Amino acid sequence: MTHLLVTGGAGFIGANFVHYWLGRHDADRVVVLDALTYAGNRANLASVEGDARFRFVHGDICDQSLVAELLHEERIDWVVHFAAESHVDRSITGPDEFIRTNVLGTHALLKAARSVWSLEGRWREGVRFHHVSTDEVYGSLTASCPPFTETTPYAPNSPYSASKAGSDHLVRAYHHTYGLPVTTSNCSNNYGPYQFPEKLIPLMLVHALEGKSLPVYGRGENVRDWLYVEDHCRAIEVILRDGQVGATYNVGGCNEWRNIDIVRLLCSILERRFAADARLSARFPRCPAAAGRPIATLIEFVADRLGHDWRYAIDARKVESELGFKPLERFETGIEKTVDWYLDNEPWWRDVLSGAYRTDPPSGL
């Protein structure tokens, strides 16, 4: 039986990880610590709220005493650290919270882990601190550059990526200085269920369904590597189980797309859904597809983001060769599943956008 503390477990990737883990590890216990900022939502965990193996704690990772208390009280074996401010645009307009959460919060977690897990000069057997990071710490690639590897020098270009780079360095330092058993994963762009509708894919889906403009930075030619969120959860599971202590693993989808092509693909998928199901036109009358018009007419090119990185791409050969991990979900199937999830879960995204159920345990959902 393994006891996990999942920070940020009410957010997008964290909630998917909680569902994934409890669905596959019957004997394990999962404790979620989440501050429930705008992107964290108790509704994301509604289906596990009554599970005896699950506990939710509303709290801040910067509260070192709370974290230490949970590590001790719950006999936590593994910390899986998702909690982070992660939206680049928000980091540009308000970088302070990114430094606080991503750098100071990670440091508070590391200090708490060291204080509880260090026993008279040795570490409690079987403990692990897994830090979830991003490919953005490596900076930007040109069209001809090879993908990022684990040895690519850090060159963060936004307050968000700089704060994540700082947290990565702290995790590494706590391993090399104190011997804290750690692993780190740097992942590419995730997509799938429960993603807050400010990121590209859910934002475009929600705007299209409501007949709002689809804002695309510049000419939409920036390139990202896309990874289905459940594959990311699988990768973390493999790293926790078999990863080398102190190691970093890049996790990607080997699936590069220009932003504008992603937006056009989403428009095309939605148009097919509307053509196949007349009920969608009644549910979403503002969507151009409800009147038989192309959804792509909503695309609006807007002023580019400050310091916008051109391209991200992950070289994931290390995690494949050492741990045997490869994504299972093809992008062609994963993006269809994602569109269907947002169509089937309209109450969820309307509620999260309004703030409903954000802090209180959901009932009747």
Please give the Cα distance from 273 to 279 (Å, whole number).
Answer: 10
The count of other CB atoms within 10 Å of the CB of residue 322 is 15
Please give the Cα distance from 8 to 164 (Å, whole number).
Answer: 15
Residue 205 contacts residue 280 (beta carbons within 8 Å): no
Catalytic residue selected from 138, 160, 249, 342: 160
Residue 28 contacts residue 50 (beta carbons within 8 Å): no
If you ran DSSP here, which 8-state letter would residue 314 be given? B
Going by C-alpha positions, the residue among 231, 7, 251, 14 that lies closest to residue 135 is 251
Helix, coil or strand: residue 73? helix
State the Cα torsion 206-211-217-220 to the nearest 10°: 90
Catalytic residue selected from 34, 77, 85, 136: 136
User: β-strands 248-251, 189-191: how paired?
Assistant: unpaired
Residue 230 catalytic? no
Residue 309 catalytic? no
Catalytic residue selected from 34, 135, 168, 230: 135
Q: What is the DSSP string of 96-164?
A: HHHIIIIIIIHHHHHHHHHHHHEETTEEPTT-EEEEEEEGGGG----TTSPPB-TTSPP---SHHHHHH
Residue 107 contacts residue 35 (beta carbons within 8 Å): no
Residue 136 catalytic? yes
Please give the Cα distance from 42 to 89 (Å, whole number).
Answer: 24
Please give the Cα distance from 138 to 54 (Å, whole number).
Answer: 35
Residue 319 contacts residue 249 (beta carbons within 8 Å): yes
Helix, coil or strand: residue 81? strand
The count of other CB atoms within 10 Å of the CB of residue 151 is 9
Q: What is the DSSP string of 277-300?
A: -THHHHH-TTSGGGGT--GGGGEE
Active site residues: 135-136, 160
